[in-house]
Chains A and B, each alone.
Chain A
Amino acid sequence: MITAERKPLEELIEYIRPYRRILLVGCNECVTVCAAGGRKEVGMLASGLQMALLKAGTSIEVREHTLERQCDPEYVEELVPLLDGVDAVMSMACGCGVQEVARRFKNKPVYPALNTKFMGASERQGVWAERCMGCGNCLLGETGGICPIARCAKQLMNGPCGGSTSGHCEIGDEVDCAWALIWERLKELGQQDRYVEITPAKDWRAGKGAGPRKIIREDLAE
């Protein structure tokens, strides 16, 4: 999922200070799962903003709505009847959702309430960790299902480096060395021979190296 965290309240208040009425829009997908921008977080933020402004001697009306998915135009269309009289929109989706709302409603300022972080997985309740960087050419089949792009600080294709100690990365003891994990996993699978093979330098053009990417499925595209 795409993970995100709420921006500090102070920053959000600066965004909305000039307005009298805003629409706060959540998303039922990834940001709900990582407890950053679902219906509950929309309610919490709406209350927080209203209280902070009330305390500062002013007030704001916050309309709340949570879309099934904010990165699809079909769902964003639901916002049309809610925008009447609204001065600005604050989105609690990831960057994709914010941009989709901004693209659809060109005459309304749209502000992000979250900082989008990474594509990750849930390690345990309340803890999410980075797992994928969308490099465009997945090599998990060669690395025992552990990604050296997302999980090695240096994105080494042939690791580990000299900074790996007792399975930990030199950037911090709380960070596992991806290549130590890969080695352990390959041993479990009896695939140590894979480790011996030298992986050539990665072609980053499949990732962000060639600019913004697009997928077109011709059978589906209209």
Chain B
Amino acid sequence: MDNFEPVIVAFCCHYCAYTAADMAGSQRLSYPPNVKVIRVPCSGKVDAMHVVKAFEKGADGVYVAGCLEGDCHFKNGNTKAARMVAYVRRYMDEIGIEPDRLEMVMMSAGMGYRFAQVATEITDKIRRMGPSPIHAAIETGKAA
């Protein structure tokens, strides 16, 4: 795949990262269009199934963005999300997808700059890693 542009899915908590994305916009901070933001009511509401399905559909990277530790609007959704991410990373290893394609990040609603920075860093990392083996296999199947 020449000129590879990764597809990255970001599950963003309404109370922090999603608002931080808005903040980034207000501050005129740009972040890569590769990142497809999905707003969720709490990062703890993101199920392992959603993450696995994203990879199955061809996402090259996924991250779950929740509130800073101790700041979850629903008490501990962000720590639950972090445990879910750790669990799915082990499952990805079993499947044969590099676990580093999945990350848990934390930020507050005011961190517009951090949102843009995280989006840029993760996009750069996934771009260096190349397409996910599933994305590559889907593309090969289409070409055949």
Contacts and interface: CB of A to CB of B under 8 A. Distances in A.
B49 A48 contact: no
Interface string B92-117: 00111100000000000000000000
B38 to A, nearest CB: 18
Interface stretch (B16-24, B26-34, B50-58, B118-126): B50-58
A116 to B, nearest CB: 20
Given A44-B48, A44-B52, A51 B94 contact: no
A50 B95 CA distance: 9
Given A40-B49, A55-B137, A10 B94 contact: yes
Contact of B56 (A9, A40, A47, A57): A47
Nearest to B83: A126
Interface in B50-84: 52-53, 55-56
Contacts of A54: 134, 137-138, 141
A27 to B, nearest CB: 18
A10 B91 CA distance: 11
A51 B56 contact: yes
Interface residues of A, number: 15
Contact of B49 (A9, A44, A59): A44
B137 A47 contact: no
B47 A52 contact: no
B133 interface: yes
Contacts of A59: 141
A40 B107 CA distance: 29
Interface in A37-64: 40, 43-44, 47-48, 50-52, 54-55, 57, 59
Q: Which of under 10, 10 to 19, 20 to 34, or 35 or more describes the interface residues of B? A: 10 to 19
A48 B137 contact: no
Contacts, number: 44
A48 B95 contact: yes
A48 B138 contact: no
Contact of A43 (B49, B91, B95, B138): B49
Interface in B1-46: none
Contacts of A18: none
A35 to B, nearest CB: 10
A17 to B, nearest CB: 15
A209 interface: no
Given A8-B94, A9-B95, A55-B96, A48 B133 contact: no
Given A40-B49, A43-B49, A44-B49, A55 B133 contact: yes
Contacts of A48: 52, 91, 94-95
Interface of A: 8-10, 40, 43-44, 47-48, 50-52, 54-55, 57, 59
In order of increasing CB-CB distance, the 7 nearest A-B pairs are: A9-B94, A54-B137, A55-B133, A47-B56, A47-B52, A52-B95, A55-B96
Given A40-B48, A47-B52, 20 more contacts: A9-B95, A10-B94, A40-B47, A47-B49, A47-B55, A47-B56, A48-B52, A48-B91, A48-B94, A48-B95, A50-B56, A51-B56, A51-B95, A51-B96, A51-B97, A52-B95, A52-B96, A54-B141, A55-B96, A55-B134
